[in-house]
Chain A
Amino acid sequence: MTAATEAFRHPAVRNRLTTRQLPKRAGLYTLIGAFILAAAVQGLTGFNWFALLALTCVFYLPAIYLLSRVKENRRKALDRLIRSLVTVAFLLALAPLISTLWTVVSKGLGILNWEFISTSGGAARINPDTLELVSSSGALQAIVGTLQITGLATLFSVPIGLLTAIYLVEYAQPAFWLRRTVNFLVDVMTGIPSIVAGLFAFSLFTLLLGPKAFSGLSAAVALSVLMIPTVVRSCEEMLRLVPADLREASYALGVTKYVTIVRIVIPTAIAGIATGVTLAIARVIGETAPIFMAASFTDSFNANPLSGPMQTLPVMAYTGYKFPGQNIDLSNSQAWGAALLLVLLVIVLNLVARIIAMIFAPKTSR
């Protein structure tokens, strides 16, 4: 009788596959140990959240490596080290996100009230009770400006972007020069720095209309340059996802090409297109430099995008810090208020995009 069958008849108490292996929760215990050690060091040097976490990492990484090296082997130790490192990398990226959001909320919440949203800043007026000159701190002009400029940019970009995507997907032959050129240029356009888009709009409008040609329209043109490639790419991707079967089914019913595109292809892809456009809006709504170049900035209310400087939330956040008014604290808190409003807008837009995608996605999937 061989040793193998002997072992089979009388199974050993210990599974030999588990030898030379750290216990299941070794990583967790090491982490807790590292944390306690870090906390102890903090007790000596003074407390700081970030330093606590950083120290925990500093203690944990070599500890887990050495433990595994001793008990397991070099390969497993390296594997554990890398696993810990990539996890740390992820947590490291969370730190600025949380810190940014926390800072914006804590700094901006103080000023964010109905008056901030509903009145326009700049125009100083006399308080009838105290007869003192008070400057209003409102952001209405920036909210209106942001909505108008982004709305106009969307109005320019979506038709051009969607039609270009339709050309690329539905009409162009794969090897045709125009298709290849446009494809390449859309990539090039994706890489235009935002400030260059602003300079372009400024140059265009000053050359056409003269030196003081700041306007919301000009800023919308600048944003369109940034928005069009994003819209083209997301629409293109969504149109390509529409199964060729559906187009064929439509052609086979004797439906013309453009009716097929407008009534079958686009409705099938509409959720994806809407999501893509919403995300593109969310991306440009926070642009500062191009709007600053093209629409300048102002504290007074201007709801006419065709002429005159126009304020937007990102520019308000910037100028509130860089070019504060006489009351520096007020300017700074206005900046934070604008930043908070902007972040809220962006988050809402992102959520809307997610919701559109979620509501419509299951129906179109096969």
Chain B
Amino acid sequence: MPGRPTPGKPTQGKPRSGKPNAAARTRPADRVFKFLSTSAAVSIMVILAGVALFLIIRALPAITASWSTNPELKSGVTGGFASFWAYVSPLAFGTVWASVIALLMATPVAIGIALFISHYSPRRMASFLGYIIDLLAAVPSVVYGLWGILVMRPFLLPLQEWLNAYLGWIPLFSGKVTSTGSSILTGAVVLAVMVLPIITAICREIFLQTPKLHEEAALALGSTRWEMIQLCVFPYARSGMVSAILLGLGRALGETMAVAMIISPAIIASFRIITEGENSQTIASNIALNFPIATGMQRDALIGTGLVLFVISLAVNMVARLIVNAGTGRKKVFWRKEKVSTS
């Protein structure tokens, strides 16, 4: 309804209910409960501010220190770096690099699974199949780590040797091939398995929301199922798919255990994916591996890298949410238009 100016004359002057004398009308128990729930909501702000604040307090000394002269920082796990930024940059690169490789592998499979569940499998099986994929997300990451060490490393070893032998001229596959399988490729495959259910779950939801009328219209024109999907489902779901991938990226960036247990890294920025001991390392895995053996100041440096990871994944998640929200906004408008046209 349009918010047009009121034609009526307010005969008695001020409005008689709504905001005025609210205090007089609210009962004490009501007020206490409202206060409790509002403070819970405020506590979310406090917690998040606390996370940022405490990380900054701990990390700041290490970020500002001179790494070449500080006795703690120039040796041990942080040794050999000119500054905090020289230390964190290759790690940040490795984090993004491993996640991107994982996503390149996970995305097509995840979208395929989502399509299979939403548009190809029998309808009454859909929720069961979805549950099976959700089980993938329920397996703890440390279990994936153990599985990666025991199963995936030897499983992928022949593939990596083959890639190095025949495609070694591509920089990606160059270098001395891994002998144990502890390469970034193995880590990325395990990461891909872990982000798969997230991307699948979101895509599946969006695919299922495609307006039935559009789908039926396309099928009635004689399209095959795949043509219908291209015509109706993908255009409708595009923004949702992008944000699903970004949310998967957010998960991959922060994943610690699987990477820490599988990859044997160095703190360098390298595109090589089938080497060991000379490939990139991720921030989270670096923290997990070095935290127990680090000294006070080195721990602060590691916390600083955690802060950088926080910022990166925050940025990725925010972009994803913005796209989601823009997408749902569009959907609402869309829906409203349909409503109007039918009434």
Contact = CB atoms under 8 A, between A and B. Distances in A.
**Direct contact between the two chains A and B in their complex (CB within 8 A):** yes
Interface of A: 50, 75-76, 78-79, 82-83, 85-90, 92-94, 96-97, 99-101, 103-104, 107, 159-164, 166-168, 170-172, 178-179, 181-182, 184-197, 199-200, 202-204, 206-207, 211, 225, 228, 232, 256-259, 261-262, 282-283, 285-289, 292-293, 296, 314-315, 317-318, 321-323, 335-336, 339, 342-343, 346-347, 350
A86 B48 contact: no
B254 to A, nearest CB: 3
Interface string B254-291: 11110011000000000000000000000010011001
A316 B112 CA distance: 36
Contacts of A288: 140-142, 256-257
B112 A282 contact: no
A193 B40 contact: no
Q: How large is the interface on B (under 10, 10 to 19, 20 to 34, 35 or more residues)?
A: 35 or more
B129 A90 contact: yes
A211 B294 CA distance: 13
Interface in B99-114: 108-110, 112-113
A189 B287 contact: no
Contacts of B250: 191
B151 interface: yes
A225 B44 contact: no
B143 A258 contact: no
B65 interface: no
Contacts of A75: 224, 227
Nearest to B155: A50
Contacts of A179: 41
A188 B253 contact: no
Given A160-B40, A163-B36, A203-B55, A185 B45 contact: yes
Contacts of A286: 138-143
Main secondary structure of the interface of B (DSSP, over half): helix
A89 B112 contact: yes
A85 B250 CA distance: 27
A89 B108 contact: yes
Which of B27, B140, B227, B261: most chain A Cβ within 10 A?
A: B140
B225 interface: yes
Q: Which 4 pairs, one residue from A and one from B, show the smallest C-beta to C-beta distance?
A: A286-B140, A193-B254, A89-B112, A191-B317
Nearest to B302: A199
Contacts of A85: 112
Nearest to B224: A79
Nearest to A282: B138
B51 A194 contact: no
Given A83-B120, A94-B132, A314 B261 contact: no
Contact of A339 (B37, B146, B193, B225): B146
A207 B45 contact: no
A155 to B, nearest CB: 14
B33 A258 contact: yes
B232 interface: no
Contacts of B112: 85-86, 88-90
B234 interface: no
B316 interface: yes
A199 B256 CA distance: 13
